[in-house]
A and B are shown apart, each in its own frame.
Chain A
Amino acid sequence: MKILVAFKRVIDPDARIKLTADRSGVDTDSVEYKANPFCENALEEALQIAEEHDGEVVLVSAGGPDIDKTIRAGLALGAERAIRVEIEDTVLDSDLAARVFAAVYKEEEPDIFFFGKQAIDSDNNQCGQLVAEYLGLPQACFASEVVIDDDGEVATVTREVDGGLETIALTLPAVITADLRLNTPRFAKLPDIMKAGRKTIDVMDLDDLDIEDTALKIELVSLEEPSARQAGVKVGSIDELVDKLKNEARAL
């Protein structure tokens, strides 16, 4: 069984996000980069499935050479090799990213293509679904449980949806996007970190993947910080709280 995992580098989810002085982008001066948390869940699930079904896990990431560090961190967790598609994320939108991944899928022909449900920087939540559409594959998004049958042919996936938990069965190959409750990602062990340095990162570009149309469908025009909420008051007692709710906010 072969499993591809789309593994994205993002700004530390706990970093304080602010715009650069000229408001052209997010201030990345002193921020740390990490793997997208949802992609860590996707990778962990892929590793567990590979361990059980004698499989191979391959990472795929789109970006410049500076994302190699994040890719190596994923390799240290147990992925066998990685593919980096050389393209700056400033000239990507979800659709072009999805067309890149669909092209990589055709090269690799995996049984499962895992994504994170959303990237916590642009919060788009659409790459996995688009890839499934472009490839005509079934999808199970927002997965909180994945069970692969003994023959490795069917994935039974529980999805976290508004109003409850939905379970669907997909005939492989399929696209699955991971939610945070899918598993608890493992930590890398020191020897594995050393070994990861020697694993292969194949670099491809858009020519290699026969992608000619690089026009963005969605284009960022400008960014702003939302007006901060007026900090309110601390009340000294519950009587004061109830009084303010009743007479000031008129919320009772």
Chain B
Amino acid sequence: MANILIVAEQSGGELKKGTLAAVQLANQLGGGFDVLVVGSGVGGVATALQGYGAGKIYVADDAVFGNYLAQPFKAATVAAAEASGAKFIVSTAGTFGKDFLPRVAGAIGAGMVADCVGLAEGGLFKRPMYAGNIIATVKANTERVVISVRASEFDNASPVGGESPIEALSVDVGDVAARFVSFDATESERPELTEADVVVSGGRGLKDGPTFWNVMNPLADVFSAAVGATRAVVDSWDEVPNDMQVGQTGKVVAPKLYVAVAISGAIQHLAGMKNSKTIVAINKDAEAPIFQVADYGLVADAFQAVPEFIEKVKAAR
């Protein structure tokens, strides 16, 4: 019996770091946690999680979970929740958790706290609304509660040693009227947006797709950074894939350093990056709203400023 069940997020047998933010939330909630790993060939994910203090690690390893579909993942989670007796069922608030966790909530009659950014006195939860312009404190009135965790708001839990026991979980997924067809992965050698220490993002001021990359690639190289973009950019330029969008309706990041290049700073964009530790903005318009959240603002033409910035960063190290 554990108080909490964490559903690990993994991709191709690799643990996603956001899962460790969920562990951090579980540690704050207290009362002990179990973990569920779902997928096909995910033994390594279970092993990677053994040193984090879980009471038990349930593994649903089966070909039916090889490609993600909401209903089978929901079925596995419900089965693990029964086995563990957990009151709280927790996973990450990326497109993974957002897709199947509401179904888990519906299936077990739980309320769902979406995008949890913290806990509050008296067993309450904090979550953003209105693109992060409001933080709501909410109460869950149900016996069991489903929570998706906004990973950028929590540190990654550190290993505590020990070796959590692993237990195979068999799941009846039932009939599913959905079928996986294909996955078109965004290929990138760079760190993932939500996991990177430094994020450099470009906006519509960078003219077009090829120019975007000509400016942003060398900048990303010098910081070993992930590259992000605004919605204006991913919507208009084919060379910049959708999953690079930072913002209310894209990814939420909080790196140590965020460099915004030729980005105006619309509220929907700020919602995805304003909790970064240090923000640098380069924009030729001194009135651009991005300067209201930037620690260091440089009013300049990006095409001249960025190459010079790169050279001087190299020299300063």
- Measuring CB to CB, which residues of chain A are less than 8 angstroms from any residue of chain B? 11, 13-14, 17-19, 26, 93-95, 98, 117-118, 120-127, 129-130, 132-134, 137-142, 144, 156, 159-171, 174, 179-181, 215-226, 229-235, 238-239, 241-246, 249, 251-252
Contact = CB atoms under 8 A, between A and B. Distances in A.
B118 to A, nearest CB: 11
Contacts of B295: 230, 232-233, 249
Contacts of A167: 181-184
Interface in B84-141: 94-96, 98-103, 105-107, 110-115, 124, 128-141
A159 B99 CA distance: 11
Interface string B149-188: 0000000000000000000000000001111111111100
Interface stretch (B31-39, B48-56, B201-209, B309-317): B309-317
Given A174-B177, A232-B295, A218 B139 contact: yes
A162 B106 contact: no
Interface centre among B71, B112, B130, B194 (most CB of A within 10 A): B130
A242 B316 contact: yes
Contact of B243 (A162, A180, A220, A251): A162
A129 B100 CA distance: 7
A142 B95 contact: yes
B135 A246 contact: no
B211 interface: no
A180 B136 contact: no
B138 A123 contact: no
A241 B138 contact: no
A91 B115 CA distance: 21
B183 A139 contact: no
Nearest to B95: A161
B242 A221 contact: no
B11 interface: yes
Contacts of B99: 129, 139, 141-142, 161
A117 B101 CA distance: 14
B268 A126 contact: no
Contacts of A215: 141
Contacts of B293: 229, 231
Contacts of B71: 138
Interface residues of B, number: 88
B102 A130 contact: yes
18 contacts: A94-B114, A118-B249, A120-B130, A129-B99, A129-B100, A137-B177, A139-B178, A166-B182, A170-B179, A181-B242, A217-B141, A218-B141, A226-B128, A226-B133, A231-B293, A235-B297, A245-B257, A251-B257
Contacts of A133: 74, 102-103, 106-107
A174 B177 CA distance: 9
B217 to A, nearest CB: 19
Contacts of A169: 178-179, 181
A129 B106 contact: yes
Contact of B98 (A141, A229, A231, A249): A141
A161 B141 contact: no
A17 B309 contact: no
Contacts of A118: 249
Contacts of A93: 111
B94 A166 contact: no
Contacts of B249: 117-118, 120, 179-180
